[in-house]
Structure 1
Amino acid sequence: MKIALIPCRECAWTRGGRLLGRVEVSPCDEDTQTSEWLSTLAPLALEAILHSPDELATQTAARLAAELGVKTRSVDSFKEVDLGLWSGLTVNEVRSRYATAARQLDDSPLSITPPDGERFSDALNRLSKALRDQIARRDRPFGVVLRPMALALAAHALTGQPPTGLLESATEGRTPTVLEPQAEAVADPS
């Protein structure tokens, strides 16, 4: 089964290369992105578009669903990783202000907990379980609209690839990615 991982609409922070975290911000007024994404998503015949419960993801999902003629559903477990004090910073600012954590990000990114934030390994476990649950109950491709860091971790969960460059991938990659989950990547670890 195919899953489309879809980034939420851009906002001033993402355009400026800033990490979002769970901060609620309004999307940019112009939205040419979602129209461009339809050529990737339409051939998949998605069953539904699931999304995190924030404004950016909700608006993105609603716009795409209206064009594709599918339903949307908010899934609380798809919420963005809590980046704590890193929210609003650029990758360079994180790397200069939190040098020790920056080195850990390169060596062992899942062991990181941003100050006042959520441990990356906990966020990965939460997102992996939510993806497993959705895969188990669906028999057709579906889309998932996520904020940047959750999107990067979800891609790791579905492919089983090492989670390298998490901060960088949270500020880049503004197009949908269609994946076929690897069975071992989404298998329940218990």
Structure 2
Amino acid sequence: MKSVKIAFIRHSVTEWNEAGRIQGHFDSPLTEYGRELAAGWRNVLEPETFDAVLTSDLGRTIETANIITEGLKLPMLHLPGLREQDWGEWSGLTTAELHEKFPGKLDKEVARGWNFTPNAGENRIDCAARSIKALEDGIAEIIRNVDKDEIKILAVAHEGTMKTVIYKLLDHDFMPEKKKRIKKRRLHWLNWNGELSIERLNEKL
């Protein structure tokens, strides 16, 4: 059986990140700082050592991956299943606007842990399930097309997507009192040997 190593990262900084707006399935481009940041990640990631790339189908992950792999001709799959958690009616709002429009709703949902569900949006359980399936489907396609026994993949996704996948693999909860396991702008390594597992988390980019 082929073995696969996956470098799992979040997209770089976008205009809505800097404005504090919830993106969900909406999109905004990387800022100039975001593009510079992604270019700097090449030194750590060594993109020439990868065999393929997985991203969501949203522009911010594709743009990040294109910057990191600039000049390389790596196969790249854009997977809708790797999109950010769908924040429904909360998409496009700042936290202040969310509290004003839906008083008390955010705090109530945060307290529900894995069942956190934005209005008309998606809960974390469903986000984890479709994200893990997308990763496994993408890995399977790459395995079919890359003639190597040990394959290395770069996967560029979203904060919510990454948290749900990694927390599911760790059997970790989202309850507010639980320790957070994912640090911002870090590199996480997953393995696939018939099923996904975690190798190590939170390496500096």
Return the TM-score normalized by structure 1. Answer: 0.76
State the shift of 1:120 in Å: 2.0
More helix by share: 1
1:177 to 188, 196, 200: 188
State the shift of 1:140 in Å: 0.9
Give the equivalent residue in structure 1 for 2:54: 50
1:1-190 to structure 2, matched below 5 A, reads 1-30=4-33, 31-42=35-46, 45-67=49-71, 69-91=73-95, 94=98, 97=102, 99-106=104-111, 108-137=112-141, 138=143, 139-163=150-174, 173-180=184-191
Moved over 4 A (4+): 90-98, 181-186
**Alpha-carbon contact 1:65-1:71 (below 8 Å) kept:** no
How many angstroms apart in 2 are the aligned matches of 1:183 and 1:163? 27
More strand by share: 2
Structure 1, unmatched stretches of 5+, are none
RMSD: 3.1
**Alpha-carbon contact 1:159-1:181 (below 8 Å) kept:** no
Stretch moving more, 23-32 or 46-55: 23-32
Structure 2, unmatched stretches of 5+, are 144-149, 198-205
How many angstroms apart in 2 are the aligned matches of 1:67 and 1:164? 43
Quickly say closer, same or farther: Cα 1:123–1:60, change in 2 above 3 A: same
Identity of aligned residues (%): 24
State the shift of 1:65 in Å: 2.1
**Alpha-carbon contact 1:85-1:115 (below 8 Å) kept:** yes
How many angstroms apart in 1 are the aligned matches of 2:59 and 2:156? 11
State the shift of 1:41 in Å: 1.4
**AA paired with 1:99?**
G
Quickly say closer, same or farther: Cα 1:45–1:153, change in 2 above 3 A: same
Give a deviation string over 1:127-147, Cα, whole Å, max 9, x none.
Answer: 111122234453412111112
Aligned length: 180
How many angstroms apart in 2 are the aligned matches of 1:162 and 1:181? 23
